[in-house]
Structure 1
Protein backbone atom coordinates (compact mmCIF):
# COMPACT_ATOMS: atom_id res chain seq x y z
CA UNK A 1 0.00 0.00 0.00
CA UNK A 2 1.38 3.45 -0.98
CA UNK A 3 1.80 6.01 1.81
CA UNK A 4 -0.76 8.27 0.20
CA UNK A 5 -3.50 5.66 0.03
CA UNK A 6 -5.98 5.29 2.86
CA UNK A 7 -7.06 1.84 4.04
CA UNK A 8 -10.47 0.66 2.92
CA UNK A 9 -12.93 -0.68 5.50
CA UNK A 10 -16.06 -2.57 4.50
CA UNK A 11 -19.25 -1.54 6.28
CA UNK A 12 -21.77 -4.33 6.51
CA UNK A 13 -25.51 -3.87 6.20
CA UNK A 14 -26.43 -4.14 9.96
CA UNK A 15 -24.01 -1.30 10.76
CA UNK A 16 -25.45 0.88 8.02
CA UNK A 17 -28.99 0.15 9.15
CA UNK A 18 -28.12 1.16 12.70
CA UNK A 19 -26.39 4.40 11.68
CA UNK A 20 -27.83 7.80 12.56
CA UNK A 21 -27.87 9.91 9.35
CA UNK A 22 -28.28 13.21 11.22
CA UNK A 23 -25.56 12.63 13.79
CA UNK A 24 -23.59 15.93 13.87
CA UNK A 25 -20.43 14.16 15.00
CA UNK A 26 -20.44 11.90 11.97
CA UNK A 27 -20.68 8.66 13.92
CA UNK A 28 -22.03 5.71 12.00
CA UNK A 29 -23.63 3.36 14.52
CA UNK A 30 -23.91 2.40 18.16
CA UNK A 31 -22.73 -1.21 18.13
CA UNK A 32 -23.59 -1.67 21.83
CA UNK A 33 -27.28 -1.96 21.00
CA UNK A 34 -28.68 -5.49 21.03
CA UNK A 35 -31.66 -6.82 19.18
CA UNK A 36 -34.55 -7.60 21.56
CA UNK A 37 -36.31 -10.85 20.69
CA UNK A 38 -40.01 -11.19 21.53
CA UNK A 39 -40.88 -13.18 24.62
CA UNK A 40 -42.02 -16.77 23.97
CA UNK A 41 -45.78 -17.30 24.13
CA UNK A 42 -47.16 -18.55 27.45
CA UNK A 43 -47.75 -22.26 27.86
CA UNK A 44 -51.45 -22.97 27.38
CA UNK A 45 -51.79 -26.47 28.82
CA UNK A 46 -54.32 -27.59 31.44
CA UNK A 47 -51.67 -29.57 33.33
CA UNK A 48 -48.16 -28.52 32.32
CA UNK A 49 -47.33 -25.17 33.88
CA UNK A 50 -44.75 -22.67 32.77
CA UNK A 51 -42.09 -21.29 35.09
CA UNK A 52 -43.05 -19.40 38.23
CA UNK A 53 -44.92 -20.04 41.46
CA UNK A 54 -48.00 -18.10 40.37
CA UNK A 55 -48.53 -20.27 37.29
CA UNK A 56 -48.00 -23.39 39.42
CA UNK A 57 -50.57 -22.19 41.95
CA UNK A 58 -53.16 -21.55 39.24
CA UNK A 59 -52.72 -25.03 37.76
CA UNK A 60 -52.87 -26.65 41.20
CA UNK A 61 -55.96 -24.72 42.28
CA UNK A 62 -57.82 -25.39 39.05
CA UNK A 63 -57.09 -29.12 39.06
CA UNK A 64 -57.93 -29.53 42.76
CA UNK A 65 -61.26 -27.73 42.53
CA UNK A 66 -62.35 -29.29 39.25
CA UNK A 67 -61.45 -32.93 39.95
CA UNK A 68 -61.95 -33.27 43.70
CA UNK A 69 -65.24 -35.13 43.27
CA UNK A 70 -63.77 -37.47 40.64
CA UNK A 71 -60.98 -38.40 43.07
CA UNK A 72 -63.38 -38.99 45.97
CA UNK A 73 -63.51 -42.83 45.44
CA UNK A 74 -59.72 -42.90 45.64
CA UNK A 75 -59.80 -41.01 48.93
CA UNK A 76 -62.41 -43.41 50.32
CA UNK A 77 -60.16 -46.37 49.46
CA UNK A 78 -57.19 -44.66 51.12
CA UNK A 79 -59.12 -43.80 54.30
CA UNK A 80 -59.18 -47.33 55.76
CA UNK A 81 -55.42 -48.06 55.74
CA UNK A 82 -54.71 -44.49 56.79
CA UNK A 83 -56.97 -44.71 59.85
CA UNK A 84 -55.56 -47.99 61.15
CA UNK A 85 -51.92 -47.96 60.10
CA UNK A 86 -50.39 -44.59 59.24
CA UNK A 87 -48.25 -43.21 62.04
CA UNK A 88 -48.65 -46.28 64.26
CA UNK A 89 -45.42 -48.22 63.79
CA UNK A 90 -44.79 -47.95 67.53
CA UNK A 91 -47.90 -50.07 68.15
CA UNK A 92 -45.95 -53.11 67.00
CA UNK A 93 -43.54 -52.60 69.89
CA UNK A 94 -46.43 -52.33 72.33
CA UNK A 95 -48.05 -55.46 70.90
CA UNK A 96 -44.87 -57.53 71.04
CA UNK A 97 -45.18 -58.67 74.73
CA UNK A 98 -48.81 -59.65 74.28
CA UNK A 99 -47.92 -61.53 71.11
CA UNK A 100 -45.16 -63.36 72.96
CA UNK A 101 -47.56 -64.41 75.72
CA UNK A 102 -50.10 -65.55 73.16
CA UNK A 103 -47.94 -67.82 71.02
CA UNK A 104 -44.99 -68.42 73.30
CA UNK A 105 -41.37 -67.59 72.58
CA UNK A 106 -41.93 -67.63 68.84
CA UNK A 107 -44.04 -64.48 69.11
CA UNK A 108 -41.07 -62.15 68.90
CA UNK A 109 -40.00 -63.85 65.71
CA UNK A 110 -43.19 -62.53 64.16
CA UNK A 111 -42.26 -58.93 64.95
CA UNK A 112 -40.31 -58.38 61.68
CA UNK A 113 -43.28 -59.72 59.74
CA UNK A 114 -45.53 -57.29 61.59
CA UNK A 115 -43.24 -54.43 60.61
CA UNK A 116 -43.20 -55.50 56.98
CA UNK A 117 -46.99 -55.70 57.00
CA UNK A 118 -47.16 -52.25 58.56
CA UNK A 119 -44.85 -50.75 55.93
CA UNK A 120 -46.77 -52.39 53.10
CA UNK A 121 -50.19 -51.22 54.28
CA UNK A 122 -49.13 -47.77 55.49
CA UNK A 123 -47.75 -47.02 52.02
CA UNK A 124 -51.18 -47.59 50.48
CA UNK A 125 -52.69 -44.08 51.00
CA UNK A 126 -50.00 -42.14 49.09
CA UNK A 127 -49.80 -44.92 46.47
CA UNK A 128 -53.55 -44.84 45.83
CA UNK A 129 -53.84 -41.05 45.85
CA UNK A 130 -50.88 -40.48 43.54
CA UNK A 131 -51.92 -43.24 41.15
CA UNK A 132 -55.46 -41.84 41.11
CA UNK A 133 -54.25 -38.32 40.40
CA UNK A 134 -52.00 -39.48 37.56
CA UNK A 135 -54.63 -41.80 36.08
CA UNK A 136 -57.40 -39.18 36.15
CA UNK A 137 -55.69 -35.84 35.49
CA UNK A 138 -53.30 -36.73 32.67
CA UNK A 139 -55.95 -38.34 30.39
CA UNK A 140 -58.33 -35.47 31.09
CA UNK A 141 -55.68 -32.86 30.28
CA UNK A 142 -54.72 -34.69 27.08
CA UNK A 143 -58.18 -35.57 25.77
CA UNK A 144 -60.54 -33.21 27.58
CA UNK A 145 -62.63 -36.12 28.89
CA UNK A 146 -62.49 -37.55 32.38
CA UNK A 147 -61.62 -41.27 32.16
CA UNK A 148 -63.75 -44.03 33.63
CA UNK A 149 -62.47 -46.02 36.64
CA UNK A 150 -61.67 -49.08 34.51
CA UNK A 151 -59.45 -47.03 32.21
CA UNK A 152 -57.72 -45.36 35.16
CA UNK A 153 -56.91 -48.78 36.57
CA UNK A 154 -55.60 -50.00 33.23
CA UNK A 155 -53.26 -47.01 32.92
CA UNK A 156 -51.60 -47.40 36.32
CA UNK A 157 -52.09 -51.03 37.40
CA UNK A 158 -48.95 -52.45 35.82
CA UNK A 159 -46.76 -49.78 37.41
CA UNK A 160 -48.15 -49.86 40.93
CA UNK A 161 -45.69 -52.49 42.16
CA UNK A 162 -42.62 -50.30 41.68
CA UNK A 163 -44.44 -47.34 43.19
CA UNK A 164 -45.51 -49.38 46.22
CA UNK A 165 -42.01 -50.73 46.83
CA UNK A 166 -40.41 -47.28 46.71
CA UNK A 167 -42.99 -45.78 49.05
CA UNK A 168 -42.69 -48.66 51.52
CA UNK A 169 -38.90 -48.30 51.55
CA UNK A 170 -39.05 -44.58 52.27
CA UNK A 171 -41.79 -45.22 54.83
CA UNK A 172 -39.23 -47.21 56.79
CA UNK A 173 -37.24 -43.99 57.26
CA UNK A 174 -40.10 -41.87 58.56
CA UNK A 175 -41.92 -44.63 60.42
CA UNK A 176 -38.81 -45.75 62.25
CA UNK A 177 -38.21 -42.25 63.60
CA UNK A 178 -41.24 -42.50 65.87
CA UNK A 179 -39.47 -45.29 67.75
CA UNK A 180 -36.82 -42.79 68.86
CA UNK A 181 -39.32 -40.60 70.70
CA UNK A 182 -39.35 -40.68 74.50
CA UNK A 183 -40.94 -38.37 77.04
CA UNK A 184 -37.63 -36.57 77.60
CA UNK A 185 -36.91 -35.88 73.92
CA UNK A 186 -40.40 -35.90 72.45
CA UNK A 187 -40.17 -32.24 71.36
CA UNK A 188 -36.90 -32.40 69.40
CA UNK A 189 -37.80 -35.75 67.85
CA UNK A 190 -41.19 -34.40 66.76
CA UNK A 191 -39.55 -31.41 65.04
CA UNK A 192 -36.94 -33.65 63.39
CA UNK A 193 -39.66 -36.09 62.33
CA UNK A 194 -41.66 -33.28 60.71
CA UNK A 195 -38.64 -32.02 58.78
CA UNK A 196 -37.58 -35.46 57.58
CA UNK A 197 -41.14 -36.46 56.66
CA UNK A 198 -41.63 -33.26 54.67
CA UNK A 199 -38.38 -33.85 52.79
CA UNK A 200 -39.24 -37.50 52.11
CA UNK A 201 -42.74 -36.66 50.87
CA UNK A 202 -41.37 -33.94 48.61
CA UNK A 203 -38.89 -36.32 47.02
CA UNK A 204 -41.22 -39.33 46.84
CA UNK A 205 -43.88 -37.20 45.17
CA UNK A 206 -41.60 -36.69 42.18
CA UNK A 207 -40.28 -40.24 42.43
CA UNK A 208 -43.82 -41.61 42.31
CA UNK A 209 -44.62 -39.64 39.16
CA UNK A 210 -41.41 -40.93 37.57
CA UNK A 211 -42.31 -44.53 38.49
CA UNK A 212 -45.82 -44.19 37.04
CA UNK A 213 -45.08 -42.22 33.87
CA UNK A 214 -41.47 -42.97 32.89
CA UNK A 215 -40.75 -46.67 32.62
CA UNK A 216 -37.51 -47.98 34.12
CA UNK A 217 -36.41 -44.82 35.93
CA UNK A 218 -36.06 -44.18 39.62
CA UNK A 219 -34.40 -41.99 42.27
CA UNK A 220 -31.68 -40.58 40.00
CA UNK A 221 -34.27 -39.27 37.57
CA UNK A 222 -36.36 -37.87 40.44
CA UNK A 223 -33.29 -36.10 41.84
CA UNK A 224 -32.61 -34.53 38.43
CA UNK A 225 -36.21 -33.29 38.15
CA UNK A 226 -36.12 -31.96 41.71
CA UNK A 227 -33.10 -29.88 40.76
CA UNK A 228 -35.00 -28.56 37.71
CA UNK A 229 -38.08 -27.60 39.73
CA UNK A 230 -39.04 -24.92 42.22
CA UNK A 231 -40.92 -27.16 44.62
CA UNK A 232 -42.22 -24.58 47.11
CA UNK A 233 -45.84 -25.63 46.58
CA UNK A 234 -45.03 -29.32 46.91
CA UNK A 235 -43.05 -28.65 50.10
CA UNK A 236 -46.04 -26.83 51.61
CA UNK A 237 -48.34 -29.73 50.67
CA UNK A 238 -45.90 -32.27 52.15
CA UNK A 239 -45.58 -30.26 55.37
CA UNK A 240 -49.37 -30.10 55.68
CA UNK A 241 -49.59 -33.91 55.35
CA UNK A 242 -46.99 -34.25 58.10
CA UNK A 243 -48.32 -31.73 60.61
CA UNK A 244 -52.09 -31.21 60.24
CA UNK A 245 -53.30 -34.82 60.86
CA UNK A 246 -51.26 -34.99 64.07
CA UNK A 247 -52.77 -31.74 65.32
CA UNK A 248 -56.26 -32.94 64.38
CA UNK A 249 -55.65 -36.23 66.19
CA UNK A 250 -54.56 -34.42 69.34
CA UNK A 251 -57.53 -32.04 69.48
CA UNK A 252 -60.36 -33.67 67.52
CA UNK A 253 -59.70 -37.41 67.57
CA UNK A 254 -58.74 -40.16 65.17
CA UNK A 255 -61.59 -39.81 62.69
CA UNK A 256 -60.91 -36.12 62.17
CA UNK A 257 -57.23 -36.90 61.69
CA UNK A 258 -58.09 -39.54 59.08
CA UNK A 259 -60.42 -37.19 57.18
CA UNK A 260 -57.84 -34.40 57.18
CA UNK A 261 -55.06 -36.80 56.26
CA UNK A 262 -56.87 -38.30 53.28
CA UNK A 263 -57.76 -34.90 51.82
CA UNK A 264 -54.25 -33.57 52.35
CA UNK A 265 -52.59 -36.64 50.84
CA UNK A 266 -54.75 -36.26 47.75
CA UNK A 267 -53.81 -32.58 47.49
CA UNK A 268 -50.17 -33.57 47.93
CA UNK A 269 -50.54 -36.02 45.03
CA UNK A 270 -51.94 -33.28 42.76
CA UNK A 271 -49.14 -30.93 43.84
CA UNK A 272 -46.58 -33.63 43.05
CA UNK A 273 -48.00 -34.15 39.55
CA UNK A 274 -48.07 -30.42 38.76
CA UNK A 275 -44.51 -30.02 40.06
CA UNK A 276 -43.35 -33.00 38.02
CA UNK A 277 -44.93 -31.64 34.82
CA UNK A 278 -43.42 -28.20 35.43
CA UNK A 279 -39.98 -29.72 36.01
CA UNK A 280 -40.26 -31.78 32.83
CA UNK A 281 -41.24 -28.64 30.90
CA UNK A 282 -38.16 -26.82 32.21
CA UNK A 283 -35.92 -29.48 30.65
CA UNK A 284 -37.83 -30.48 27.51
CA UNK A 285 -40.93 -29.40 25.53
CA UNK A 286 -43.49 -31.75 27.06
CA UNK A 287 -47.27 -31.36 26.95
CA UNK A 288 -50.20 -33.19 28.47
CA UNK A 289 -50.49 -35.25 25.29
CA UNK A 290 -46.85 -36.36 25.41
CA UNK A 291 -47.16 -37.29 29.09
CA UNK A 292 -50.29 -39.27 28.29
CA UNK A 293 -48.48 -41.07 25.48
CA UNK A 294 -45.79 -42.13 27.96
CA UNK A 295 -48.36 -43.23 30.51
CA UNK A 296 -50.40 -45.12 27.94
CA UNK A 297 -47.41 -46.88 26.38
CA UNK A 298 -47.72 -50.68 26.74
CA UNK A 299 -45.33 -52.56 28.95
CA UNK A 300 -42.65 -54.45 27.06
Structure 2
Protein backbone atom coordinates (compact mmCIF):
# COMPACT_ATOMS: atom_id res chain seq x y z
CA UNK A 1 0.00 0.00 0.00
CA UNK A 2 1.11 3.56 -0.51
CA UNK A 3 0.97 4.45 3.15
CA UNK A 4 3.40 1.62 4.07
CA UNK A 5 6.30 2.88 2.02
CA UNK A 6 5.91 0.70 -1.05
CA UNK A 7 7.84 2.45 -3.81
CA UNK A 8 5.86 3.49 -6.84
CA UNK A 9 7.67 3.93 -10.13
CA UNK A 10 6.49 6.81 -12.27
CA UNK A 11 4.68 5.82 -15.48
CA UNK A 12 5.13 7.89 -18.56
CA UNK A 13 2.09 8.00 -20.81
CA UNK A 14 1.36 10.25 -23.75
CA UNK A 15 -2.22 11.37 -24.16
CA UNK A 16 -3.15 12.55 -27.64
CA UNK A 17 -6.10 14.89 -27.88
CA UNK A 18 -7.89 14.74 -31.21
CA UNK A 19 -11.18 15.95 -32.59
CA UNK A 20 -14.32 13.93 -33.25
CA UNK A 21 -14.98 11.54 -34.91
CA UNK A 22 -11.37 10.31 -34.72
CA UNK A 23 -11.34 10.26 -30.91
CA UNK A 24 -14.03 7.58 -30.85
CA UNK A 25 -11.73 5.09 -32.56
CA UNK A 26 -8.24 6.32 -31.65
CA UNK A 27 -6.03 4.88 -28.90
CA UNK A 28 -4.92 7.85 -26.74
CA UNK A 29 -2.13 5.79 -25.15
CA UNK A 30 -0.59 4.55 -28.40
CA UNK A 31 3.19 4.96 -27.84
CA UNK A 32 3.81 5.41 -31.56
CA UNK A 33 1.41 8.32 -31.86
CA UNK A 34 -0.86 6.71 -34.41
CA UNK A 35 -4.42 7.87 -34.95
CA UNK A 36 -7.50 6.02 -36.10
CA UNK A 37 -7.96 4.62 -39.59
CA UNK A 38 -10.88 6.39 -41.24
CA UNK A 39 -10.86 4.35 -44.45
CA UNK A 40 -14.18 2.77 -43.42
CA UNK A 41 -17.58 4.41 -43.02
CA UNK A 42 -20.14 3.66 -40.35
CA UNK A 43 -23.09 3.93 -42.72
CA UNK A 44 -21.74 1.33 -45.19
CA UNK A 45 -21.18 -2.09 -43.60
CA UNK A 46 -18.18 -4.00 -44.90
CA UNK A 47 -18.66 -7.08 -47.04
CA UNK A 48 -19.21 -10.21 -45.02
CA UNK A 49 -16.78 -12.91 -46.16
CA UNK A 50 -18.18 -16.34 -46.86
CA UNK A 51 -21.67 -15.20 -47.86
CA UNK A 52 -22.50 -16.66 -51.26
CA UNK A 53 -25.45 -15.35 -53.26
CA UNK A 54 -27.37 -18.12 -55.06
CA UNK A 55 -27.41 -16.22 -58.38
CA UNK A 56 -25.09 -13.20 -58.24
CA UNK A 57 -21.57 -14.34 -59.05
CA UNK A 58 -18.33 -12.62 -58.27
CA UNK A 59 -15.81 -11.71 -60.94
CA UNK A 60 -14.28 -14.43 -63.07
CA UNK A 61 -15.50 -17.29 -65.20
CA UNK A 62 -15.08 -19.80 -62.37
CA UNK A 63 -17.60 -17.93 -60.21
CA UNK A 64 -19.95 -17.65 -63.17
CA UNK A 65 -19.72 -21.37 -63.95
CA UNK A 66 -20.50 -22.33 -60.35
CA UNK A 67 -23.62 -20.14 -60.26
CA UNK A 68 -24.71 -21.43 -63.66
CA UNK A 69 -24.38 -25.04 -62.54
CA UNK A 70 -26.17 -24.31 -59.28
CA UNK A 71 -29.15 -22.62 -60.93
CA UNK A 72 -29.43 -25.30 -63.61
CA UNK A 73 -29.17 -28.12 -61.09
CA UNK A 74 -31.58 -26.73 -58.50
CA UNK A 75 -34.33 -25.61 -60.87
CA UNK A 76 -34.16 -28.11 -63.75
CA UNK A 77 -37.19 -30.11 -62.59
CA UNK A 78 -39.25 -26.98 -61.94
CA UNK A 79 -38.49 -25.65 -65.42
CA UNK A 80 -39.91 -28.75 -67.15
CA UNK A 81 -43.37 -27.11 -67.62
CA UNK A 82 -41.66 -24.15 -69.27
CA UNK A 83 -39.74 -26.45 -71.61
CA UNK A 84 -42.95 -28.28 -72.54
CA UNK A 85 -44.55 -24.95 -73.44
CA UNK A 86 -41.61 -24.01 -75.65
CA UNK A 87 -41.51 -27.38 -77.43
CA UNK A 88 -44.65 -26.84 -79.54
CA UNK A 89 -43.72 -23.49 -81.15
CA UNK A 90 -40.13 -24.59 -81.55
CA UNK A 91 -41.03 -27.77 -83.41
CA UNK A 92 -43.59 -26.29 -85.81
CA UNK A 93 -42.31 -22.76 -86.39
CA UNK A 94 -38.66 -22.14 -85.54
CA UNK A 95 -36.53 -22.71 -88.61
CA UNK A 96 -39.53 -23.30 -90.88
CA UNK A 97 -39.56 -20.02 -92.80
CA UNK A 98 -39.03 -21.83 -96.08
CA UNK A 99 -42.50 -23.34 -95.66
CA UNK A 100 -44.00 -19.88 -96.13
CA UNK A 101 -42.12 -19.45 -99.40
CA UNK A 102 -43.45 -22.77 -100.67
CA UNK A 103 -46.98 -22.03 -99.52
CA UNK A 104 -47.24 -18.63 -101.22
CA UNK A 105 -47.62 -19.87 -104.84
CA UNK A 106 -50.22 -22.41 -103.74
CA UNK A 107 -52.18 -19.67 -102.00
CA UNK A 108 -51.94 -17.53 -105.13
CA UNK A 109 -53.57 -20.26 -107.21
CA UNK A 110 -56.28 -20.95 -104.66
CA UNK A 111 -57.48 -17.38 -104.14
CA UNK A 112 -56.94 -15.96 -107.61
CA UNK A 113 -53.62 -14.18 -107.24
CA UNK A 114 -54.23 -12.59 -103.86
CA UNK A 115 -52.22 -15.23 -102.04
CA UNK A 116 -48.99 -13.27 -102.28
CA UNK A 117 -50.64 -10.51 -100.27
CA UNK A 118 -50.79 -12.97 -97.39
CA UNK A 119 -47.04 -13.48 -97.39
CA UNK A 120 -46.27 -10.44 -95.16
CA UNK A 121 -48.87 -11.64 -92.67
CA UNK A 122 -47.32 -15.10 -92.71
CA UNK A 123 -43.92 -13.58 -92.04
CA UNK A 124 -45.28 -11.54 -89.13
CA UNK A 125 -46.90 -14.65 -87.71
CA UNK A 126 -43.62 -16.53 -88.07
CA UNK A 127 -41.62 -13.82 -86.30
CA UNK A 128 -44.17 -13.63 -83.49
CA UNK A 129 -44.38 -17.37 -82.88
CA UNK A 130 -40.66 -18.06 -83.38
CA UNK A 131 -39.89 -15.67 -80.52
CA UNK A 132 -42.02 -17.68 -78.09
CA UNK A 133 -39.34 -20.22 -77.04
CA UNK A 134 -36.91 -17.43 -76.12
CA UNK A 135 -39.56 -15.37 -74.35
CA UNK A 136 -41.03 -18.27 -72.36
CA UNK A 137 -37.64 -19.71 -71.40
CA UNK A 138 -36.17 -16.42 -70.19
CA UNK A 139 -39.30 -15.32 -68.34
CA UNK A 140 -39.63 -18.76 -66.78
CA UNK A 141 -36.04 -18.81 -65.51
CA UNK A 142 -36.31 -15.33 -64.02
CA UNK A 143 -39.73 -16.04 -62.51
CA UNK A 144 -38.58 -19.30 -60.89
CA UNK A 145 -34.94 -18.65 -59.90
CA UNK A 146 -35.15 -15.13 -58.45
CA UNK A 147 -38.03 -15.76 -56.01
CA UNK A 148 -36.45 -19.05 -54.92
CA UNK A 149 -33.13 -17.33 -54.23
CA UNK A 150 -34.70 -14.39 -52.41
CA UNK A 151 -37.41 -16.14 -50.39
CA UNK A 152 -35.81 -19.54 -49.91
CA UNK A 153 -38.68 -21.45 -51.50
CA UNK A 154 -39.74 -22.11 -55.07
CA UNK A 155 -42.79 -20.17 -56.22
CA UNK A 156 -45.98 -21.78 -57.43
CA UNK A 157 -46.90 -21.44 -61.14
CA UNK A 158 -49.51 -18.76 -60.38
CA UNK A 159 -46.89 -16.73 -58.54
CA UNK A 160 -44.43 -17.04 -61.43
CA UNK A 161 -47.08 -15.84 -63.86
CA UNK A 162 -47.96 -12.84 -61.70
CA UNK A 163 -44.30 -11.80 -61.59
CA UNK A 164 -43.57 -11.87 -65.33
CA UNK A 165 -46.90 -11.56 -67.14
CA UNK A 166 -46.99 -7.76 -67.24
CA UNK A 167 -43.57 -7.60 -68.92
CA UNK A 168 -44.02 -10.33 -71.51
CA UNK A 169 -45.35 -7.99 -74.20
CA UNK A 170 -42.24 -5.81 -74.30
CA UNK A 171 -40.01 -8.88 -74.15
CA UNK A 172 -41.94 -10.51 -77.00
CA UNK A 173 -41.64 -7.45 -79.23
CA UNK A 174 -37.87 -7.31 -78.80
CA UNK A 175 -37.34 -10.99 -79.54
CA UNK A 176 -39.66 -10.92 -82.53
CA UNK A 177 -37.27 -8.39 -84.03
CA UNK A 178 -34.26 -10.52 -83.17
CA UNK A 179 -36.01 -13.49 -84.79
CA UNK A 180 -35.41 -11.97 -88.22
CA UNK A 181 -31.68 -12.46 -87.73
CA UNK A 182 -31.50 -15.49 -85.46
CA UNK A 183 -34.09 -17.60 -87.27
CA UNK A 184 -35.32 -16.31 -90.57
CA UNK A 185 -32.46 -15.13 -92.72
CA UNK A 186 -30.16 -18.12 -92.15
CA UNK A 187 -32.92 -20.38 -93.47
CA UNK A 188 -33.76 -18.23 -96.49
CA UNK A 189 -30.17 -17.70 -97.61
CA UNK A 190 -29.30 -21.30 -98.38
CA UNK A 191 -27.00 -22.55 -101.10
CA UNK A 192 -29.89 -22.59 -103.60
CA UNK A 193 -30.40 -18.83 -103.20
CA UNK A 194 -26.81 -17.63 -103.04
CA UNK A 195 -24.94 -20.26 -105.03
CA UNK A 196 -21.38 -21.15 -104.07
CA UNK A 197 -21.29 -18.52 -101.30
CA UNK A 198 -24.00 -20.33 -99.33
CA UNK A 199 -21.58 -21.87 -96.83
CA UNK A 200 -19.96 -18.52 -96.09
CA UNK A 201 -23.35 -16.85 -95.70
CA UNK A 202 -24.43 -19.57 -93.27
CA UNK A 203 -21.32 -18.99 -91.16
CA UNK A 204 -21.81 -15.21 -91.19
CA UNK A 205 -25.40 -15.45 -90.08
CA UNK A 206 -24.54 -18.04 -87.44
CA UNK A 207 -22.10 -15.50 -85.99
CA UNK A 208 -24.73 -12.77 -86.27
CA UNK A 209 -27.29 -14.98 -84.54
CA UNK A 210 -24.84 -15.68 -81.73
CA UNK A 211 -24.20 -11.98 -81.19
CA UNK A 212 -27.93 -11.20 -81.31
CA UNK A 213 -28.76 -13.92 -78.78
CA UNK A 214 -25.96 -12.78 -76.47
CA UNK A 215 -27.15 -9.19 -76.44
CA UNK A 216 -30.78 -10.34 -76.41
CA UNK A 217 -30.19 -12.41 -73.29
CA UNK A 218 -29.00 -9.38 -71.35
CA UNK A 219 -31.69 -7.18 -72.85
CA UNK A 220 -34.37 -9.71 -71.95
CA UNK A 221 -33.27 -9.77 -68.32
CA UNK A 222 -33.25 -5.97 -68.23
CA UNK A 223 -36.77 -5.82 -69.65
CA UNK A 224 -38.14 -8.43 -67.23
CA UNK A 225 -36.37 -7.34 -64.03
CA UNK A 226 -35.92 -3.59 -64.45
CA UNK A 227 -39.07 -1.76 -65.38
CA UNK A 228 -38.72 0.95 -68.04
CA UNK A 229 -35.19 0.17 -69.21
CA UNK A 230 -34.03 -1.23 -72.52
CA UNK A 231 -31.14 -1.44 -75.00
CA UNK A 232 -29.04 1.36 -73.49
CA UNK A 233 -29.03 -0.33 -70.11
CA UNK A 234 -28.25 -3.71 -71.71
CA UNK A 235 -25.34 -2.18 -73.64
CA UNK A 236 -23.98 -0.65 -70.43
CA UNK A 237 -24.11 -4.01 -68.64
CA UNK A 238 -22.59 -5.82 -71.61
CA UNK A 239 -19.62 -3.43 -71.51
CA UNK A 240 -18.99 -4.40 -67.87
CA UNK A 241 -19.38 -8.15 -68.34
CA UNK A 242 -17.30 -11.02 -69.65
CA UNK A 243 -20.02 -13.00 -71.41
CA UNK A 244 -17.95 -16.01 -72.45
CA UNK A 245 -20.45 -18.48 -71.03
CA UNK A 246 -23.41 -16.69 -72.56
CA UNK A 247 -21.64 -16.57 -75.93
CA UNK A 248 -21.15 -20.34 -75.85
CA UNK A 249 -24.79 -20.90 -74.93
CA UNK A 250 -25.96 -18.53 -77.69
CA UNK A 251 -23.74 -20.22 -80.28
CA UNK A 252 -25.16 -23.60 -79.30
CA UNK A 253 -28.73 -22.33 -79.79
CA UNK A 254 -27.83 -20.81 -83.16
CA UNK A 255 -26.01 -23.83 -84.60
CA UNK A 256 -26.67 -27.12 -82.81
CA UNK A 257 -30.42 -27.66 -83.52
CA UNK A 258 -29.95 -27.49 -87.29
CA UNK A 259 -27.01 -29.88 -87.14
CA UNK A 260 -29.08 -32.30 -85.06
CA UNK A 261 -31.97 -31.98 -87.52
CA UNK A 262 -29.75 -32.95 -90.45
CA UNK A 263 -28.35 -35.91 -88.51
CA UNK A 264 -31.31 -37.24 -86.49
CA UNK A 265 -34.47 -35.52 -87.72
CA UNK A 266 -36.93 -32.88 -86.58
CA UNK A 267 -38.00 -34.42 -83.25
CA UNK A 268 -34.42 -34.73 -82.04
CA UNK A 269 -33.74 -31.16 -83.17
CA UNK A 270 -36.73 -29.96 -81.16
CA UNK A 271 -35.53 -31.72 -78.01
CA UNK A 272 -32.03 -30.31 -78.45
CA UNK A 273 -33.39 -26.85 -79.16
CA UNK A 274 -35.62 -26.81 -76.07
CA UNK A 275 -32.79 -27.88 -73.78
CA UNK A 276 -30.29 -25.46 -75.30
CA UNK A 277 -32.68 -22.50 -75.16
CA UNK A 278 -33.34 -23.22 -71.49
CA UNK A 279 -29.62 -23.33 -70.76
CA UNK A 280 -29.20 -20.09 -72.72
CA UNK A 281 -31.83 -18.43 -70.50
CA UNK A 282 -30.02 -19.57 -67.35
CA UNK A 283 -26.72 -18.31 -68.75
CA UNK A 284 -28.36 -14.96 -69.55
CA UNK A 285 -29.68 -14.53 -65.98
CA UNK A 286 -26.34 -15.41 -64.35
CA UNK A 287 -24.43 -13.14 -66.75
CA UNK A 288 -26.88 -10.31 -66.11
CA UNK A 289 -26.52 -10.67 -62.34
CA UNK A 290 -22.73 -10.77 -62.57
CA UNK A 291 -22.68 -7.67 -64.79
CA UNK A 292 -24.92 -5.76 -62.38
CA UNK A 293 -22.64 -6.67 -59.47
CA UNK A 294 -19.72 -5.18 -61.41
CA UNK A 295 -21.41 -1.76 -61.65
CA UNK A 296 -23.51 -1.55 -58.46
CA UNK A 297 -24.28 -3.36 -55.20
CA UNK A 298 -26.87 -6.01 -56.00
CA UNK A 299 -28.19 -9.25 -54.54
CA UNK A 300 -30.84 -11.78 -55.47
CA UNK A 301 -33.16 -10.11 -52.97
CA UNK A 302 -32.70 -6.65 -54.44
CA UNK A 303 -33.33 -7.94 -57.98
CA UNK A 304 -36.40 -9.82 -56.79
CA UNK A 305 -37.68 -6.60 -55.17
CA UNK A 306 -37.40 -4.93 -58.60
CA UNK A 307 -39.17 -7.84 -60.27
CA UNK A 308 -41.94 -7.82 -57.67
CA UNK A 309 -42.45 -4.05 -57.80
CA UNK A 310 -46.03 -3.16 -58.82
CA UNK A 311 -46.63 -1.74 -62.25
CA UNK A 312 -47.49 1.96 -62.30
TM category (shorter chain) comes to 0.7 to 0.9
Q: How does 1:1-300 map to 2 (within 5 A)?
A: 41=49, 44-174=52-182, 175-183=184-192, 184=195, 185-300=197-312
Shift of 1:182: 2.5
What SS does the corresponding residue of 2:111 show, helix, strand or coil? helix
Does the CA contact (< 8 Å) of 2:56 and 2:286 recur in 1?
yes
Cα distance in 1 for partners of 2:161, 2:261 equals 32
Does the CA contact (< 8 Å) of 2:181 and 2:205 recur in 1?
no
Partner of 2:18: none
The number of residues matched between the two structures is 269
Q: Which whole-Å deviations, capped at 9, do the CAs of 1:119-167 have from their partners, x for residues lacking one?
A: 0000000000000000000000101100000000000000000000000
TM-score, normalised by the number of residues in structure 2: 0.83
Cα distance in 1 for partners of 2:99, 2:219 equals 29
Cα distance in 1 for partners of 2:163, 2:272 equals 28
Does the CA contact (< 8 Å) of 1:131 and 1:212 recur in 2?
yes
Shift of 1:42: 5.6
Q: Which whole-Å deviations, capped at 9, do the CAs of 1:248-275 have from their partners, x for residues lacking one?
A: 1001000000000000000000000000
Does the CA contact (< 8 Å) of 2:150 and 2:304 recur in 1?
yes
Shift of 1:65: 1.2
Does the CA contact (< 8 Å) of 2:175 and 2:216 recur in 1?
yes
Structure 2 unaligned runs (5+)?
1-30, 34-38, 40-45
Q: Give RMSD over aligned pairs.
A: 2.0
Shift of 1:193: 1.6
User: Do the aligned partners of residues 102 and 51 (structure 1) sit closer, same or farther apart at CA in structure 2, a change above 3 Å counting?
Assistant: same
Partner of 2:5: none
User: Do the aligned partners of residues 193 and 42 (structure 1) sit closer, same or farther apart at CA in structure 2, a change above 3 Å counting?
Assistant: farther
Cα distance in 2 for partners of 1:290, 1:39 equals 16
Cα distance in 2 for partners of 1:109, 1:295 equals 42
